[in-house]
Amino acid sequence: MIDHGPHNILGIRINAVDYEAAVEKVVVAANEGSPFAVSALAVHGVMTGVLDPRQRFRLNAFDLIVPDGQPVRWALGWLHGKKLADRVYGPTLTLKLCERAALEKIPIFLYGSTPETLDALQENLVRRFPGLQIAGAKPSRFRRLSPAERDEVVAEIQASGAKITFVGLGCPRQEVWTYEFRQALKMPVIAVGAAFAFHAGLLPQAPPAMQRWGLEWFYRLAQEPKRLWKRYLFLNPLYLTLLALQFSRIYTINPDKGLEPNETMLYG
């Protein structure tokens, strides 16, 4: 088990951990009934915090942010000497948590995406982990929630008996949701990005070789160029430029210089 704690990557505290340590932290919080906010961030997720001081504040309020993308894992080594053998990929972390939840009879809740995706996801997860208890699932409304709707969501998840909630709303909405719901739910809330679509069998994952070499972004860009071209062709070069500036100590973003949001977004 590897846990070197959080380290500043462009103003975001990324935890230098492996899968075993991440899973253990979540399970402990689930068994204790403690709020515990988790996200797996690739370059795009990190850059949302770089470009938006309010999002930076939210992310740095999380209990655990793991290096989802290879470039984020590499940055931990380049900047802080924390060389991990592997990244902590959100979809894989999801499976490892479901496996542990099945073994320890920890009920889970799935929030986000579409009814069709959730149906396929539940079927596939239960087939893969026969002892997994899925206490409930709720699709996204794909809009902002009213305060009353927010209270309904909290009540539904709590009444389900779930002890871990997985959130698949896409970055950065899922991180905003996790930040805003973590205290009310009093359980681990895990923002897992495209894991829902991947494990539902609706979105193909990049080949393992492309994942190892940090080229998953290129694979996804080729699949969804109209939606993703601005994200990758603008943010990836900016990420590398800012990393070089932090490495050379010319410019470093202070994680404590975020801006506390003055209103809730209540995505759902």
d(Cα 205, Cα 230) in Å, to the nearest integer? 20
Burial label, 56 (beta-carbon count in 10 A; 0-12, 13-18, 19+): buried
Question: To which H or E segment does residue 183 belong?
Answer: helix 173-185
Phi, psi of 8 (to 5 degrees): -75, 115
Residues 251-261 have a mean pLDDT of 94
Element (H or E) spanning 240, and its range? helix 225-247
Both structure tokens of 117: 């995706």
> Which residues share a beta bridge with 136?
109
The mean per-residue pLDDT over the stretch 234-240 comes to 91
- Quote the pLDDT of residue 227: 74
Count of helices and strands (H, E) across the chain:
12, 8
pLDDT band at 81 (very low <50, low <70, confident <90, very high): very high
For the entire predicted model, the pTM comes to: 0.92
* 36: three-class secondary structure by DSSP: strand
Confidence of residue 266 (pLDDT cuts 50, 70, 90): low
Reply yes or no on whether the pLDDT at 83 is more than 90: yes
Q: Is the pLDDT of residue 6 over 80?
A: yes
Domains and CATH numbers, the chain: 3-206+252-257 (3.40.50)
Residue 215, Cβ density class (10 Å: 0-12 exposed, 13-18 middle, ≥19 buried) = middle
